[in-house]
Amino acid sequence: MADHKITVHTEDGIWLLGAVDDYPFEAKVCDENSGFGIDCGRVIKLHIRGKQASGEIAAYERGWDRFPKGAHKGLARAVIRFCESLPEQEIWRGTFLTERHFLVTDDDVLEYE
């Protein structure tokens, strides 16, 4: 997987809002793995849009409505990996009220300024 930059924030809700390499996304993340999640993980809903708001390039709600193709697969994998690394919602909701930046690599999820 190539390195991807992720910017995230919340609006004090259960949705994580952000961008992965300038592609806007929204993700709904559970505290525990779910049979409804992507690969039975914590991400139960995910929407990634094109850079110019040209429609969705990936959409997941209890199954893939739009499976990412080509280079977009890497974007989806990076967002999923990031979301899976989050602590419980009670913790991350309060810490993402301001925008924060992360680098997702093959080995790690790192915050940067």
Q: What domain count does the chain have?
A: 1
Mean pLDDT of 67-75: 94
Percentage of the chain surpassing pLDDT 90?
75
- Looking at per-residue pLDDT, the higher value among 25 and 51 belongs to 25
DSSP E strands, 1-113: 4-9, 15-20, 23-29, 43-49, 56-61, 64-66, 100-104, 109-112
Tokens of 80: 């999923």
Under the banding of pLDDT at 50, 70 and 90, the label for residue 113 is confident
Q: Which domain covers residue 101, as residue numbers?
A: 4-112
Question: Is this prediction's pTM over 0.85?
Answer: yes
Q: Report whether 83 contacts 6 (CB < 8 A).
A: no
Mean pLDDT of 34-39: 96
For residue 97, the model assigns a pLDDT of 86
Q: Measured between alpha carbons, how far is residue 91 from residues 31, 35, 78, 107, 112 in Å?
A: 10, 23, 21, 23, 19
Residue 70 CA, chain-centre distance (Å), reads: 18
Mean pLDDT of 93-111: 91
